[in-house]
Amino acid sequence: LPKLPAARLEKINVDSLRFVESVMPSPETEQTRKNFVDELQNVVNQTSVMWGCDAKLVPFGSSVNNFGAENSDLDICLVLMPSGARWPDAFFDDTPSEQLGAPPATKAVEDLAATLSENGFEDVDDSRKSARIPILQFRHGPMELECDICVDNRLAVRNTLLLRTYSLIDPRVRQLAYVVKTWAKRRKINNPAERTLSSYGYILMVIHYLQQLETPLLPPLQALPPTWAGEPIKTSLDGSNDADAGMDGDDLDEDGNGASDLPVVLVQSNSEGAQQDTYFFADPQSAYFSTPADMSTAMKRLSAFAARNKDSLADLLVGFFWTMALKFDWRRHVIGVRDAHLVTKESKASEDSWKLHQRMAIEDPFETSYDVAHVVRDREFRLIREEFVRAYALLAAASPRQEADSLDDVI
Ligand code: GTP
Ligand code: MG
C-alpha cells in the first residue's frame, strides 16, 4: 500500500470521523425502535392465540448489529417457540416449528398480515410468504420505518450477534463499516435484487479485512478456543444450560469478574440439517443475553488485542479500498471470517461443493456452504471492483485530474 502524505491522511481522518458521527443513530432512535417492537409484540400476541405455540419478535440486522443508520429498515424475526418457553433459552433450541404444533410459515405470515392491516399498518405485503425465507413487509407511517418480518430465521439472529460482538471490540470496526456501507449505498452497489452485494456481505468483507491486516485488528471469534478467556457457558441442544459452571471463586479474575459470562456455545444446524456445535465469543450485554456484568474479561482482552493495531480510521479506509481493488486475489480466494487463514476457492469446491468461478465469493460464517455473494454476476462484479478502484484513486488522489476534495466526493 503506497504511503500517503500525512496531511492527506489527516484530512481523510477528520472528514470520515465527522461523517460517521452524522450517520450514527441517536440513542433516542434506538429506544424508539425498541418501543415499537414491544408494541408490535402485542399485535403478534393477538395473532398467536390462534396458534399452538408462543411467538416472539426478535429484532436482528442493523438495528441490533450496531451497523445501522438512522434510516435503516427494521428487520425482525418471528421466533416460534413451545408454549411457555423463555427467551433467550429458545435461541439455542432448534426444534423444527412443525414439532411445536406451530402453523407453517406461510400461514403465520398470512395471519400476521391480516392482524397488522386490522391494526392500521400501511403497505402490508405478504407476497413473499412462500419464499425460501418467508417475509412479511409493511411500513410504519409515522416513523417512516420500513419493516420486514421473517419467520424462524434463527441463523440471521445468530449472525447478528456475531456481527454485533465484532462491532464492540474496537470503535474503528463500526466507523469503517459505516463509511463502507454508506459508500456502497450511494454508489448503488448494495442491492441484491439488482445482483449487487447485501449490506451483510460488505460487513463480512470489512471484518475479513480487519482480520487479515499485518497486525490484525480483529481475531476470528469463531476460531478462538472455547476456553480462551475462561470456562465456556455450555448450552446444548437438550436445552440444559450449565451457566453456573465456572462461577465458583476459583474462576474469578483479578478484577473480580466471573469468567462464566464469556464465550457462548451456539448449536447450529447446517444446510443438510445436521447439528454441530459452533462457538464464538459473544458480547455478554447484547440485546439477547443481558447479564449484569460490566464488560467481560473476554471483551477487555479482545479490545486489548485490537489496540495493538495503531492504524487510524483513514489508514484503514484507504487500506480497505486498496486491498479490495488491487490486492485481494478474487480468482483464488474467498472472503471469510471464520478462520485466520485465507480460504481458497478450490478448498470450498472440494469441501462444500462450491462451483468454481472467477467472481467474488463470500463464505457465510455459520452456513458455510452458502455464498453470501451468490447473486453477484460477472457484470456486477466488474462494476463493484471498478468502484473499489475509484474510491481508492479518489482517496489517494492518485489521478492528477481527479483530486477529491472531501470524503463526500468519494462516497
Ligand atoms: P441495512 O439494512 O442496509 O442497514 O443493513 P443490515 O445489516 O440490516 O443488512 P441486511 O438488510 O443486508 O441484512 C439484515 C440481516 O439479515 C443481516 O444482519 C444478517 O443477519 C441477515 N442476512 C442478510 N443477508 C444474509 C445472507 O445472505 N445470509 C444469511 N445467513 N443472513 C443474511
Ligand atoms: Mg436491514
Q: What is the CATH number of the domain that holds 315?
A: 1.10.1410.10
Give the distance (Å) from ligand 1 centre to CA of residue 397: 33
Q: Is the domain of 271 the same as that of 330?
A: no
Answer for the pair 65, 35: CB distance below 8 angstroms, yes or no. Answer: no
Distance (Å, rounded) from C-alpha 207 to C-alpha 222?
13
Q: Label each residue of the chain as H, E or C.
A: CCCCCHHHHHHHHHHHHHHHHHHCCCHHHHHHHHHHHHHHHHHHHHHHCCCCCEEEEEEEHHHCCCCCCCCCCEEEEEEEECCCCCCCHHHHCCCCHHHHCCCCHHHHHHHHHHHHHHCCCEEEEEEECCCCCCEEEEEECCCCEEEEEEECCHHHHHHHHHHHHHHHHCHHHHHHHHHHHHHHHHCCCCCHHHCCCCHHHHHHHHHHHHHHCCCCCCCCCCCCCCCCCCCCECECCCCCECCCCCCCHHHCCCCCCCCCCCEEEEEEECCCCCEEEEEEECCCCCCCCCCCCCCCHHHHHHHHHHHCCCCCHHHHHHHHHHHHHHHCCCCCEEECCCCCCCEEHHHHHHHHCCCCCCCCCEECCCCCCCECCCCCCHHHHHHHHHHHHHHHHHHHCCCCCCCCCCHHHHC
Residue ending a domain, among 305, 337, 363, is: 305
pLDDT (tens digit, 9 = 90+) per residue, 370-410?
A: 999 999 999 999 999 999 999 999 999 855 555 666 788 88
Domain boundaries, position 48: 27-157
Distance (Å, rounded) from C-alpha 391 to C-alpha 394?
5
Q: Is the domain of 373 the same as that of 387?
A: yes
Structural domain includes residue 268: yes
Structural domain includes residue 319: yes
Most informative mutation of 58, 62, 154 for ligand 1 (most atoms within 8 A of CB): 62
Q: Is the domain of 340 the same as that of 391?
A: yes
Where residue 271 falls among pLDDT bands split at 50, 70, 90?
Answer: very low
Q: Is the domain of 132 the same as that of 280?
A: no
Cα distance from N-terminal residue to C-terminal residue, the chain: 20
Structural domain includes residue 15: no
Structural domain includes residue 193: yes
- Rounded to the nearest angstrom, the gap between the alpha carbon of residue 126 and the centroid of all alpha carbons in its chain is 25
For residue 246, pLDDT beyond 50: no
pLDDT at 11: 92
Most informative mutation of 24, 70, 145, 199 for ligand 1 (most atoms within 8 A of CB): 199
For residue 332, pLDDT beyond 90: yes
Structural domain includes residue 179: yes
pLDDT at 254: 37
For residue 336, pLDDT beyond 80: yes
Q: Is the domain of 47 the same as that of 179?
A: no
Does the complex come out with an ipTM higher than 0.95? Answer: yes
Average of per-residue pLDDT across 204-217: 97
Residue ending a domain, among 266, 282, 305, is: 305
Q: Which atom of ligand 1 is nearest to 163's Cα?
A: 18
pLDDT at 21: 95
Higher pLDDT, 59 or 252: 59
Higher pLDDT, 225 or 25: 25
Average of per-residue pLDDT across 359-365: 96
Residue ending a domain, among 289, 305, 321, is: 305
Give the distance (Å) from ligand 2 centre to CA of residue 76: 9
Where residue 300 falls among pLDDT bands split at 50, 70, 90?
Answer: confident
Pairing of strands 145-151, 74-81: parallel
Average of per-residue pLDDT across 302-324: 95
Structural domain includes residue 284: yes
pLDDT at 264: 45
Q: How many residues does the chain have?
A: 411
Q: Which atom of ligand 1 is nearest to 69's Cα?
A: 4
Distance (Å, rounded) from C-alpha 307 to C-alpha 169?
9
Give the distance (Å) from ligand 2 centre to CA of residue 310: 31
Structural domain includes residue 9: no
Residues 6+ apart with CB under 8 A from 230: 246, 251, 253, 259, 260, 262, 263, 297, 298
Pick from 60, 53, 56, 27: nearest CA to 44: 56
Q: Which atom of ligand 1 is nearest to 198's Cα?
A: 12
CATH of the domain at 113: 3.30.460.10
Where residue 152 falls (left for φ over 0; alpha for ψ -120 to 50; beta otherwise) is left
Residue type, 50: M
Where residue 199 falls among pLDDT bands split at 50, 70, 90?
Answer: very high
Q: Is the domain of 142 the same as that of 45?
A: yes
Q: What is the dihedral of CA 264, 95, 56, 75, to 10 degrees?
A: 70
Specify burial of residue 78 (Cβ count, 10 A radius: 0-12, 13-18, 19+). buried
Specify burial of residue 7 (Cβ count, 10 A radius: 0-12, 13-18, 19+). exposed
Structural domain includes residue 12: no
Q: Is the domain of 323 the same as that of 193?
A: yes
Give the distance (Å) from ligand 2 centre to CA of residue 203: 12
Q: Is the domain of 104 the same as that of 52?
A: yes
- Which range among 100-109, 161-170, 376-385 has the greatest average pLDDT? 376-385
Q: What does the buried/exposed string (b/e) look like for 283-302 if buried means 16 or more CB atoms within 10 Å of the residue's CB?
A: bbbbbbbeeeeeebbbbebb
Pocket (CB within 6 angstroms of ligand 1): 60-62, 65, 67-68, 72-73, 75, 155-156, 159-160, 198-200, 364, 367, 372
Q: What does the buried/exposed string (b/e) look like for 341-372 if buried means 16 or more CB atoms within 10 Å of the residue's CB?
A: ebbebeebeeebebeeeebbbbbbbbbbebbb
Q: Is the domain of 300 the same as that of 327?
A: no
Where residue 296 falls among pLDDT bands split at 50, 70, 90?
Answer: low
Cα–Cα–Cα angle for 7, 8, 10, nearest 5°?
65
Of the given ranges (104-118, 196-210, 248-262, 280-294), which has the lowest mean pLDDT? 248-262
Q: Is the domain of 344 the same as that of 240?
A: no
Of the given ranges (12-16, 50-54, 134-138, 260-264), which has the lowest mean pLDDT? 260-264
Quote the percentage of the chain above a pLDDT of 70: 81
* Number of domains making up the chain: 3
pLDDT at 115: 92
Q: Is the domain of 196 the same as that of 294?
A: no
Specify burial of residue 8 (Cβ count, 10 A radius: 0-12, 13-18, 19+). middle
Q: Is the domain of 317 the same as that of 393?
A: yes
Cα–Cα–Cα angle for 239, 75, 137, nearest 5°?
120
